[in-house]
Amino acid sequence: MNTTKKVLLINAHLTYPNRSEGLLNQAFHQKAKDFFLSKGFEVLETKVEDGYHVDIEVEKHLAADIIVLQTPINWFSTPWIYKKYVDEVFDGGFIKSTFFENDGRTRQDPTRQYGTGGKMMGKKFMVSSTWNAPKESFDNSDQLLYEGRSTTDALINITTTYRFCGVEIVPDYNCFDIYKDGDISGTLERYPEHLEKVFNLS
């Protein structure tokens, strides 16, 4: 029996030629890959922009113990290709009844909450993202856009899909202010420390 842990690394970057080539998100993706290989994981990879087969992506999700999404934040969300990916892959998981059984509610037991019908318990999911927004935009009620909300709040439209399926959500990792004054190199170098901590791999 193969007991090697598996991690699925998803890169959601969408290229805009001469403006956004994806080098930064690829660097974080590679940093995560190198980290998990050093910990003895089998690494499964998907670069959404390069195309994918729904059934294979479903199987990757079922095989993975850990799933990490690497994404830029474009207009306050992921690139549209990632939403398409989620719609298709999670619908594939729904059709096969492998990601979740139902939404969790039953007429026989009214205490069962919406979102408790997942079948992917034991797996963990994390978002690593790159932002134009500065770190100061978050967790500060004096800031205009996010009104005191955290990055975890801002990314809830991404993480809730996995939580609905029973996956544990671990703290996100973010590279801020990438076009102006962000500490890109430092944030990249510190990334393995975050992965080691949130996935308890020390």
pLDDT value at residue 146: 86
Q: Residue 173 — φ and ψ, nearest 5°?
A: -130, 135
pLDDT value at residue 37: 98
pTM: 0.91
Q: List, in order of start, the domains of the chain with CATH numbers.
A: 6-199 (3.40.50.360)
pLDDT value at residue 111: 74
Question: Do 152 and 172 meet the contact criterion of CB atoms below 8 Å apart?
Answer: yes
Q: Residue 193 — φ and ψ, nearest 5°?
A: -65, -40
pLDDT value at residue 95: 57
pLDDT value at residue 105: 75
pLDDT value at residue 16: 83
Comparing C-alpha atoms, which of 105, 88, 82, 109 is closest to residue 11?
A: 82
Residue with tokens 């993706």: 29
CA angle 23, 50, 95 (to 5 degrees): 130
CA distances to 9, 45, 87, 132, 160 from 180, in Å: 27, 30, 34, 8, 31
Please list the rounded mean pLDDT of every run of 10 residues in the chain (202 residues): 87 86 93 98 98 95 97 95 95 73 70 71 96 92 86 94 91 95 94 98 88
CA angle 175, 163, 99 (to 5 degrees): 120
pLDDT value at residue 119: 74
Question: Do 70 and 128 meet the contact criterion of CB atoms below 8 Å apart?
Answer: yes
